């Protein structure tokens, strides 16, 4: 027996089998029951959501030999002919192929004849927005004086391209993408009918990847069954979709939580050497971080991170997103992503804003510190407070750089001396910095020498330095 694609084989035969589209189905069923069928409908929505399918079910409901019913029998000659597409009173017109002029002309003649076999003649005009202006005008005349026993269904993926004159004479239904869990249920039903083994996780991935299209999900499932040699397992679905194996993702997130820079870098190396697309990987990581942030903020609970990570995670997301925007357009994204990982080193040294804030308050409330120590101490205090405010507006990376920079208040202006590599980062935010220092700011980039004195540092830094041919800019004891 020839292999039949799942989408075809499992095309809904009645309203009950339609997935999602609850309000469309409910309204149509009520109209049929109450004998209030409109003579013209617009079915609007993206491809593969069931516009053609529902049109055919409606045709059956109106022409089933058992009578007009929201539950057509599916077995009578009319129902089976409609199912096969050979029912003489159902006209399927593809406006995309010849833009419909001839079809609409013959339609105008045709509408005056009585149905051949059924009660209603149904005209399904697919991609109706592609009709020419003449075709629309011809159609409009028909819609203005609708002869009885004719139903028009205009299916379109681009509702806004249907002229208002037409729209005002039709009842419009919007077909919406089903939820991922509805898609998953649909896939599960097919697999169970087919007696095909599957893993739940694999179905999650397929449902996610089909982005709301039922037909796409069924086609993906066809491929997954072939690819997995008769079963649908996570590993082959990951491969099919070009996804990164979950272990890489989980390990990376774990290392991220522990700020284990070396192992994060090693994962990017491994992915590259095994031929995975680092952009896909980075996107998956960013999606997880985003989900975690949303969950932490809304539900106060997430899968990997805790409340105490929230502040850091916001910086991570800023850095990682920026890297993604650069990396995806860059021939060697690995360098960009590794640099982003390296930047997390700064976060490790960041004092939390709350901590700074609390310190700031304490210092200003302590009379012994603010008063007798005079001008020098007062100035330092202002700079600290300014950095705190700058950090809030310009981001933690900027305040981290400022905290380590040498800042001189020269009365008329302020000089900030930083490593030359960090100069641009500060220049980008100079407006904000000047606002809080309250005077013009000069940023000087300096070659800052690595300290000779040998210091303990972790091997992650060594690895990173070697990877980037870098050098240490600042060093802070933990
Ligand atoms: N809402 C739905 N419920 C169940 N299956 C659907 C649904 N929408 C689409 N499908 C599946 O996708 C295939 C194509 O659907 P179709 O009705 O032609 O979509 P459209 O006309 O909106 O592009 C159908 O054969 C069916 O298997
Ligand atoms: Mg269609
Ligand atoms: Zn029937």
Question: Considering the domain boundaries, does residue 465 fall inside one?
Answer: no
Q: How far is the CA of 50 from the centre of ligand 1 (A)?
A: 4
Give the CATH number of the domain where residue 311 resides. Answer: 1.20.272
Over the stretch 97-136, which tens digit does the pLDDT of each residue have?
766 677 777 787 888 899 999 999 999 999 999 998 888 9
In this structure, are 138 and 39 located in the same domain?
yes
In this structure, are 38 and 128 located in the same domain?
yes
At residue 286 the predicted structure's pLDDT band, cuts being 50, 70 and 90, is very high
Q: How far is the CA of 92 from the centre of ligand 3 (A)?
A: 20
Whether the CB of 12 sits within 6 Å of ligand 1: yes
Question: With 50 as the cut, is the pLDDT of residue 243 above it?
Answer: yes
Give the CATH number of the domain where residue 365 resides. Answer: 3.30.300
Mark which of 317, 349, 381 sits at the end of a domain: 349
pTM, to two decimals: 0.63
Whether the CB of 21 sits within 6 Å of ligand 1: yes
Whether the CB of 11 sits within 6 Å of ligand 1: yes
- Measuring from atom 8 of ligand 1, which residue has the nearest CA? 50
Report the alpha-carbon distance of residue 64 to residue 119 in Å, rounded: 9
Whether the CB of 177 sits within 6 Å of ligand 1: no
In this structure, are 231 and 305 located in the same domain?
no
pLDDT of residue 169: 95
In this structure, are 19 and 163 located in the same domain?
yes
What percentage of residues in the chain have a pLDDT greater than 90? 50
Question: With 70 as the cut, is the pLDDT of residue 277 above it?
Answer: yes
- Measuring from atom 18 of ligand 1, which residue has the nearest CA? 52
User: Which whole number is the average pLDDT over 137-151?
Assistant: 89
Q: How far is the CA of 235 from the centre of ligand 2 (A)?
A: 33
In this structure, are 230 and 289 located in the same domain?
no
Whether the CB of 452 sits within 6 Å of ligand 1: no
pLDDT of residue 464: 63
Report the alpha-carbon distance of residue 138 to residue 104 in Å, rounded: 7
Question: With 50 as the cut, is the pLDDT of residue 301 above it?
Answer: yes
User: Which whole number is the average pLDDT over 128-154?
Assistant: 90
Of 369-378, 387-396, 429-438, give the lowest mean pLDDT range: 369-378
Question: With 80 as the cut, is the pLDDT of residue 176 above it?
Answer: yes
Question: Considering the domain boundaries, does residue 11 fall inside one?
Answer: yes
Over the stretch 432-475, which tens digit does the pLDDT of each residue have?
998 888 888 999 888 765 444 444 455 556 666 666 656 555 55
Over the stretch 331-368, which tens digit does the pLDDT of each residue have?
889 999 999 999 888 765 555 555 555 555 444 444 44
From 48, 84, 124, 127, mutation site for ligand 1 pocket: most ligand atoms within 8 A of C-beta: 48
Question: With 90 as the cut, is the pLDDT of residue 186 above it?
Answer: yes
Range of the domain at 94: 6-174
Over the stretch 61-84, which tens digit does the pLDDT of each residue have?
999 999 999 999 999 999 999 999
Question: Considering the domain boundaries, does residue 470 fall inside one?
Answer: no
């Amino acid at each position: 027996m020839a292999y039949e694609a799942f989408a075809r084989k499992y095309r809904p035969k009645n309203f009950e089998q339609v997935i999602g589209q609850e309000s469309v189905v409910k309204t149509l069923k009520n109209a049929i029951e109450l004998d209030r069928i409109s003579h013209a409908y617009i079915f609007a929505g993206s491809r593969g959501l069931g516009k053609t399918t529902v049109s055919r079910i409606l045709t059956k409901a109106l022409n089933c030999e058992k009578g007009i019913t929201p539950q057509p029998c599916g077995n009578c000659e009319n129902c089976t002919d409609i199912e096969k597409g050979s029912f003489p009173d159902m006209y399927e017109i593809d406006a995309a192929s010849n833009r419909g002029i001839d079809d609409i002309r013959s339609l105008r003649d045709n509408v005056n004849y009585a149905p051949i076999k059924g009660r209603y003649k149904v005209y399904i005009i697919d991609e109706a927005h592609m009709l020419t202006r003449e075709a629309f005008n011809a159609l409009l005349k028909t819609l203005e004086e609708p002869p009885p026993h004719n139903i028009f269904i205009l299916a379109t993926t681009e509702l806004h391209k249907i002229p208002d004159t037409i729209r005002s004479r039709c009842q419009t239904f919007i077909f919406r993408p089903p939820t991922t869990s509805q898609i998953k249920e649909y896939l599960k039903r097919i697999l169970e009918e087919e007696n095909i083994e599957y893993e739940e996780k694999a179905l999650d991935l397929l449902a996610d990847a089909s982005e709301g299209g039922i037909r796409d999900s069924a086609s993906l499932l066809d491929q997954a069954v072939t690819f997995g040699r008769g079963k649908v397992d996570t590993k082959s679905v990951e491969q099919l979709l070009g996804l990164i194996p979950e272990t890489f993702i989980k390990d990376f997130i774990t290392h991220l939580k522990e700020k284990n820079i070396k192992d994060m870098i090693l994962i990017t190396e491994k992915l590259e050497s095994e031929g995975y697309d680092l952009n896909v990987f980075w996107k998956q990581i960013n999606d997880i971080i985003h989900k975690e942030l949303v969950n932490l903020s809304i539900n106060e609970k997430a899968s990997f991170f805790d409340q105490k990570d929230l502040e850091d995670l916001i910086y991570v997301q800023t850095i990682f997103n920026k890297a993604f925007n650069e990396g995806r357009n860059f021939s060697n994204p690995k360098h960009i992503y590794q640099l982003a990982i390296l930047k997390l080193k700064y976060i490790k040294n960041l004092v939390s804003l709350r901590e700074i804030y609390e310190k700031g308050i304490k210092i200003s409330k302590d009379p012994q510190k603010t008063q007798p120590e005079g001008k020098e101490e007062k100035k330092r205090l202002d700079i600290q407070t300014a950095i705190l405010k700058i950090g809030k507006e310009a981001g933690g990376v900027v305040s981290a750089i400022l905290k380590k920079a040498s800042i001189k208040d020269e009365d008329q202006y302020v000089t900030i001396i930083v490593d030359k590599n960090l100069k641009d980062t500060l220049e980008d935010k100079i407006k904000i910095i000047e606002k809080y220092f309250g005077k013009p700011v000069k940023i000087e980039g300096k070659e800052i020498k690595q300290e000779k004195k040998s210091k303990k540092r972790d091997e992650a830094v060594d690895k990173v330095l070697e990877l980037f041919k870098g050098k240490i800019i600042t060093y802070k004891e933990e």
